[in-house]
Amino acid sequence: MQKYWYDNENRIAVSSRIRLARNLDKTAFPNKLNKEDTAAICKKTGDVLTAREYSFGKLHYIDMDEFSQNVPSLFERHIISPEFANNYHGKGLLLSDDESISIMLCEEDHIRIQSISPGDDLQSAYKKAKEVDDVLCNNIRVAFSDELGFLTACPSNLGTGLRASVMLHLPLSESQGRIPALSAELSKIGLTIRGTYGEGSKGFGSFYQVSNQITLGITEENAIKNLNGIVKQIIISEENLRKEAYKPVLEDKIFRALGTLKYARRVNSAEMIKLLSLIKLGTDMGIIKNKSKNSIYSLIINTQPNTLMLNAKNNYTPGERDILRGDILREKLKEVE
């Protein structure tokens, strides 16, 4: 039974994401709005978008103030942005049952449609986002000009307002020092790469996000096609490095990671991501077998500090969390050998 996008193990390309930025016509952008106007816009767009059934089911309106306890976990699960997590009062979120579509209302723009698909599949993510976008644009006049396209709070999103990104697991590319060169190459063609966990050039756990930067003067289809082409190349290069790797050293690292998490009593998040990344590499390469129903990536999502506490329905100190995380990982990794 698959409910969420991370329930299945996806090798190298973990997930594909599309984000569309939209604004209402003749209306000040969210940073210029007072409480009443913000509430009115959330209601207006919420009413239009929740009124129908989509191919992925219905969208549910969430009043962020009533949902405040879940906010940090929503951020950890990539459902909301860090900006929205820090400034959610008086705002709304639309969410599909499988959490693959989330729409932040009055974040930086009035409407931010986010669609996520498992694996390397920007097309299906775009199809779902477009479905919602069509309903929006057919019912509400959005800020648009023939010259600059969809008008957004930040000029870097003008044009299509579309940001496409693919999350890639690149442990070998990283350990061989390939990321800085890749980053330089990507920036030349209007793409960017950044770490998924932790900021800066080197991410925790070798998870990276590759995305387009340019949104004006390029069609949606071409932006996605360009990114797709590059992502395929990065995947092939990571696959080749995996094939060429000196197995005894790699296997040793992977089994040490598994051994640690199978017996450790206290595990902090940074260590969890680092070791689960190695275990994921091991299962993806067939070095170890995951006989359980959980994907390794779902363990990373579910043992993040706030998601961990939300699932346990309790608040813990960081120290207590590390003990709980250790317990959960020992249990979940029993069937990984």
Partner 1 sequence: MLCEKCGKYPATTHYKQVINGQESEMHLCSRCAGEEGVYGFEMPDLFSAVFGTPIAENVKICPTCKTSFDEIIKSGRVGCGDCYKYFEKELMQSIFGMHGHTKHIGATPKITEDIKKTDNAENNQDNAKITNLKKDLEKAIKEERYEDAAKIRDKIRDVETQE
Positions in the binding site for partner 1 (CB under 8 A):
23, 25-29, 31-32, 72, 75, 82, 85-86, 108, 137-151, 153-156, 158-160, 162, 190, 198-202, 214-220, 268-270, 318-319
Q: At closest approach, how far in Å is the CB of 143 from partner 1?
A: 3
- CA-angle at 197, arms to 285 and 93, nearest 5°: 115
Nearer to partner 1, 10 or 160 (CB): 160
Nearer to partner 1, 26 or 35 (CB): 26
Rounded-to-integer distance, Cα 99 and Cα 59, Å: 10
Nearer to partner 1, 25 or 331 (CB): 25
Nearer to partner 1, 36 or 147 (CB): 147
Q: At closest approach, how far in Å is the CB of 28 from partner 1?
A: 4
Nearer to partner 1, 110 or 280 (CB): 110
Q: At closest approach, how far in Å is the CB of 6 from partner 1?
A: 20
Long-range pairs for 122-126: beta carbons < 8 A, 24 or more residues apart: 122/16, 122/18, 122/164, 122/166, 122/224, 122/227, 122/228, 123/224, 124/16, 125/16, 125/17, 125/18, 125/164, 126/18, 126/164, 126/220, 126/224
Q: Is residue 316 helix, strand or coil?
A: coil
User: What angle in degrees, to the nearest 10, is found between the helix axes of 247-263 and 269-284?
Assistant: 130
Nearer to partner 1, 60 or 202 (CB): 202
Rounded-to-integer distance, Cα 30 and Cα 53, Å: 28
Rounded-to-integer distance, Cα 55 and Cα 45, Å: 19
Query: Is residue 38 within 8 Å of 30, Cβ to Cβ?
Result: yes
Q: At closest approach, how far in Å is the CB of 154 from partner 1?
A: 5
Q: At closest approach, how far in Å is the CB of 94 from partner 1?
A: 19
